[in-house]
Amino acid sequence: MKSRLQRRSVLPGFGLTMGFTLMYLSLIVLIPLSGLVLKSATMTWPAFWSTITEDRVLASLRLSFGGALIAATVNAVFGFVVAWVLVRYRFPGRRLVDALIDLPFALPTAVSGIALTAVYAPTGWLGRPLAALGIQAAYTPLGVVIAMTFVGLPFVVRTLQPALEDLDVEIEEAAASLGAGRFQAFVRVLLPALLPSLLTGFALAFSRAVGEYGSVIFIAGTTKTEIAPLVIVTKLEQYDYAGATAVALVMLVASFGLLFGINLLQRWSRRQHA
Restricted to residues 213-272, the positions that interact with another protein (CB under 8 A) are 213-214, 218, 228-230, 232-233, 236, 241, 244-245, 248, 251-252, 255-256, 258-259, 263
Q: Which of residues 59-98 bind another protein (CB under 8 A)?
A: 78, 81-82, 84-86, 88-93, 95, 97
Interface with another protein: number of residues (CB under 8 A): 98
Q: Is 109 exposed, middle or buried (0-12, 13-18, 19+ CB in 10 A)?
A: middle
Q: Which is nearer to another protein, 63 or 232 (CB)?
A: 232
CB 95, min distance to another protein, A: 8
Question: Please, what's the b/e burial string for 154-184 (b: 16 or more CB within 10 A of its CB; e: otherwise)?
Answer: bbbbbbbbebbeebeeeebeebeeeebeeee
Q: How far apart (Å, rounded) are the C-alpha atoms in residues 145 and 38? A: 33
139: left (phi over 0), alpha (psi -120 to 50) or beta: left
Q: Which is nearer to another protein, 53 or 263 (CB)?
A: 263
CB 32, min distance to another protein, A: 4
Q: Are 259 and 53 in contact (CB under 8 A)?
A: no
CB 59, min distance to another protein, A: 17
Q: Which of residues 36-55 bind another protein (CB under 8 A)?
A: 36, 38-39
Site for another protein contains 164 (CB under 8 A): no
Sign of CA dihedral 9, 13, 15, 18: negative
Site for another protein contains 9 (CB under 8 A): yes
Cα separations (Å) of 200 from 1, 3, 153, 156, 196?
Answer: 42, 36, 13, 8, 6
Among 61, 63, 116, 148, binds another protein (CB under 8 A): 116
DSSP-assigned states of every residue in 183-225: HHHIIIIIHHHHHHHHHHHHHHHHHHHHH--HHHHHHH-SSS-
Q: Which is nearer to another protein, 67 or 229 (CB)?
A: 229
Cβ contacts of 85 within 8 Å, gap of 6 or more: 91
Among 33, 47, 58, 187, binds another protein (CB under 8 A): 33
Q: Which of residues 131-160 bind another protein (CB under 8 A)?
A: 146, 149-150, 153
Among 47, 58, 110, 191, binds another protein (CB under 8 A): 110
Among 125, 184, 191, 264, binds another protein (CB under 8 A): 125
Among 24, 62, 66, 135, binds another protein (CB under 8 A): 24
Q: How far apart (Å, rounded) are the C-alpha atoms in residues 161 and 102? A: 13
Q: Are 126 and 137 in contact (CB under 8 A)?
A: yes
The one segment of 51-59, 135-143, 193-201, 203-211 that binds another protein by CB under 8 A: 203-211
Q: How far apart (Å, rounded) are the C-alpha atoms in residues 95 and 85? A: 12
Among 1, 16, 132, 133, binds another protein (CB under 8 A): 16
Q: Which is nearer to another protein, 54 or 240 (CB)?
A: 240
Site for another protein contains 274 (CB under 8 A): no
